[in-house]
Amino acid sequence: MSAEVICIGTELLLGDIVNTNAQFFGQQLASLGVPHYYQSVVGDNPERIKRALQIACDRAEILLFAGGLGPTPDDLTTATLADFFDSPLRERPEVLAEIEAKFARRGRTMSPSNRKQALFPDGAEVLPNPTGSAPGIIWQPRPGLSVLTFPGVPGEMQCMWYESAVPYLKSLGYGREIVHSRMLRFWGIGESTLAEKVRAFLDLPNPTVAPYASRGEVRLRISARAPSEAAAREAIAPIESQLRAIAGPDCFGVDDDTLASAVGRHLCALDATVAVAESCTGGGLGHALTSVPGSSAYFRGGIIAYQNAIKTELLGVAPELLARQGAVSADVAEAMAAGVRTQLGSDWAVGITGIAGPDGGTDTKPIGLVYVGLADPNGRTTSYELHLGSWRERDAIRHSSVCNALDRLRRQLLACCYPDGSVPPL
C-alpha 32/C-alpha 22 separation (Å) is: 15
Contact segment (CB under 8 A) with a copy of itself among 6-14, 161-169, 249-257, 407-415 equals 6-14
214 versus 420: smaller Cβ distance to a copy of itself: 214
Distance in angstroms (rounded) separating the CA atoms of residues 126 and 133:
13
Enumerate residues 65-124 that contact a copy of itself by CB under 8 A: 70-74, 106-108, 111-114
Give residues 210-249 in contact with a copy of itself (rule: CB under 8 A). Answer: 210-214, 221, 223
Host H or E run for residue 378? none
Question: Which one of the spans 11-19, 87-95, 239-247, 369-377 is the region binding a copy of itself (CB under 8 A)?
Answer: 11-19
Residue number with CB closer to a copy of itself (49 or 139):
49
The nearest distance, CB 293 to a copy of itself, in angstroms, is: 5
> Where are the extended beta strands (E) located within 119-160?
119-121, 125-127, 136-142, 145-150
Which residues in the 116-175 window bind a copy of itself by CB under 8 A? 130-131, 153, 155
Of the candidate residues 33, 128, 389, 424, the single one contacting a copy of itself (CB under 8 A): 389
Interface pattern 247-286 for a copy of itself (x via CB under 8 A)? -----------------------------x-x-xxxxxxx
| Alpha carbon distance 322, 97 (integer Å) | 63
Of the residues 196, 229, 234, 255, which one makes contact with a copy of itself according to CB under 8 A:
196
Residue by residue, DSSP assigns 259-277 as: HHHHHHHHHHHHT--EEEE
Least distance (Å) between residue 50 CB and a copy of itself: 13
Q: Which is nearer to a copy of itself, 95 or 285 (CB)?
A: 285
Which C-beta is closer to a copy of itself: that of 6 or that of 413?
6
Among residues 303, 335, 397, 413, which is the contact residue for a copy of itself, using CB under 8 A? 303
- CA 5 to chain CA centroid, Å, is 22
**Is the Cβ of residue 239 or residue 276 nearer to a copy of itself in the bound state?**
276
**Of the candidates 69, 67, 70, the residue with the CA atom closest to the CA atom of residue 152:** 67
Angle between helices 77-84 and 46-59 (to 10 degrees): 60
Q: Does 406 bind a copy of itself (CB under 8 A)?
A: no
- Stretch in the footprint of a copy of itself (CB under 8 A) among 10-18, 240-248, 250-258, 406-414: 10-18
CB under 8 Å to 425, separation ≥6 — which residues?
A: none
d(CA 52, CA 82): 15
For a copy of itself, which is the closer residue by CB, 28 or 149? 28
Query: Are 273 and 266 spatial neighbours (Cβ–Cβ below 8 Å)?
Result: no
* Contact residue for a copy of itself among 169, 251, 328, 344 (CB under 8 A): 344
Q: Which residues of 236-268 are buried (b: 16+ CB within 10 A; e: fewer)?
A: beebbeebbeebebbbbbbeebbbbbbbbbbbe
Binding of residue 50 to a copy of itself (CB under 8 A): no
Query: For the residues of 201-255, what is the DSSP string, one character each?
Result: GGG-SSSEEEEEEETTEEEEEEEEEESSHHHHHHHHHHHHHHHHHHHGGGEEEET
From residue 348 to residue 387, the character string flagging contacts with a copy of itself as x (rule: CB under 8 A) and all else as - is ---------xxx---------------------------x
Q: List helix spans (H) across 108-202.
A: 154-160, 166-171, 191-197
Q: Closer to a copy of itself by CB, 140 or 193: give it.
A: 193
Instruction: Count interface residues toward a copy of itself (CB under 8 A).
Output: 110
Residue 77 or residue 114: which is nearer to a copy of itself going by CB? 114
Burial class (CB in 10 A: 0-12, 13-18, 19+), 15: exposed
